[in-house]
């Protein structure tokens, strides 16, 4: 079931390599690598199918049915990945960020202090929103009001849950030491954290 942890950071729960019928059915509905294999995150989660269904339900809402602008969504997810030093989230969402309009330079700037980037004011506020929730599990009233001036109440709830979900997922990924897929690129070596 669990692997012994060594000093090299081996996975604490290894990705499933020989899924049973139920696990195979669940994995068939997940995102796949370019080589058509389930992502390691899902191959670990599938070891506890009920947990996987619940975790994927909320993640799927954000990715396929959310009301936030996709560019803003990916900015926030990548900012959380940077603030939590989660290579896996960064590797998975950088290509998605590019597909929804972020540039490689913007993705690089997501690891910098906000004031050192070239963000529009509303984008900088979204990043600050993510930073405050990651650090404090709350945001100031002033920041809330600023971000809420451009988002509907439902979007504000979604935004707060998005940050919390990816913060939680980063803790899960890092604690279980889920390995990057072969060829995936994690956080840059020159990160500022």
Q: Assign 183 a pLDDT band (cuts: 50, 70, 90).
A: confident
User: How distant, in Å, are the alpha carbons of 46, 47, 55, 179 from that of 19?
Assistant: 8, 9, 19, 18
Averaged confidence pLDDT in the chain: 91
Choose between 139 and 8: higher pLDDT: 139
Residue 70: CA count within 13 A, CB half-sphere: 13
Say whether both 78 and 45 belong to one domain. no
Say whether both 100 and 73 belong to one domain. yes
Residue 3 lies in a domain: no
Residue 2 lies in a domain: no
Say whether both 59 and 76 belong to one domain. no
- Is the sign of the CA dihedral 64, 157, 89, 72 positive or negative? positive
CA separation for the pair 182, 35 (Å, rounded): 10
CA separation for the pair 19, 83 (Å, rounded): 33
Say whether both 81 and 120 belong to one domain. yes
Say whether both 140 and 94 belong to one domain. yes
Say whether both 131 and 145 belong to one domain. yes
Give the rounded percent of residues in the chain with a pLDDT score beyond 70: 93
Give the CATH number of the domain where residue 107 resides: 1.20.1290.10
Residue 150 lies in a domain: yes
CA separation for the pair 123, 73 (Å, rounded): 11
Residue 6 lies in a domain: no
Say whether both 46 and 94 belong to one domain. no
Say whether both 128 and 163 belong to one domain. yes
Q: What is the average pLDDT across 69-73?
A: 97
Residue 191 lies in a domain: no
Say whether both 48 and 95 belong to one domain. no
Count of structural domains within the chain: 2
Question: Is the per-residue pLDDT at 128 higher than 70?
Answer: yes
Which domain range does residue 38 map to? Answer: 21-63
Question: Six-digit token pair at 85?
Answer: 């030093």
The predicted pLDDT at position 120 comes to 96
Please identify, among 63, 94, 121, the residue that sits at the C-terminal boundary of a domain. Answer: 63
The predicted pLDDT at position 108 comes to 94
Say whether both 73 and 131 belong to one domain. yes
Question: Six-digit token pair at 167?
Answer: 């913060």
Residue 164 lies in a domain: yes
Say whether both 169 and 155 belong to one domain. yes
Question: Is the per-residue pLDDT at 191 higher than 80?
Answer: no
Residue 1 lies in a domain: no
Residue 100 lies in a domain: yes
CA separation for the pair 124, 13 (Å, rounded): 37
Least confident residue range of 5-14, 57-66, 92-101: 5-14
The predicted pLDDT at position 171 comes to 96
The predicted pLDDT at position 7 comes to 35
Least confident residue range of 94-98, 168-172, 188-192: 188-192
What φ, ψ does residue 141 adopt, rounded to 5°? Answer: -60, -40
Say whether both 40 and 93 belong to one domain. no
Q: Please say whether the beta carbons of 41 and 174 come within 8 A.
A: no
CA separation for the pair 108, 110 (Å, rounded): 5
């Amino acid at each position: 079931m669990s692997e012994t942890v060594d000093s090299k950071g081996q996975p604490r729960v290894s990705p499933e390599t020989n899924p049973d019928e139920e696990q195979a059915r669940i994995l068939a509905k997940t995102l796949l690598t370019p080589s058509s294999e389930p992502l390691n995150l899902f191959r670990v989660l599938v070891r506890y199918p009920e947990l996987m269904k619940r975790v994927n339900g909320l993640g799927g809402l954000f990715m396929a049915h959310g009301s936030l602008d996709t560019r803003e969504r990916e900015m926030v997810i990548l900012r959380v990945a940077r603030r939590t030093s989660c290579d896996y989230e960064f590797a998975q969402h950088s290509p998605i960020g590019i597909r929804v309009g972020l540039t490689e330079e913007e993705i690089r700037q997501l690891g910098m202090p906000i004031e050192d980037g070239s963000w529009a004011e509303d984008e900088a506020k979204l990043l600050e929103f993510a930073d405050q929730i990651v650090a404090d599990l709350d945001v100031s009233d002033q920041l809330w009001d600023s971000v809420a001036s451009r988002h509907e109440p439902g979007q504000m709830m979604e935004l707060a849950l998005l940050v919390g979900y990816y913060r939680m997922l980063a803790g899960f990924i890092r604690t279980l030491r889920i390995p990057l897929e072969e060829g995936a690129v994690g956080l840059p070596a020159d990160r500022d954290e």
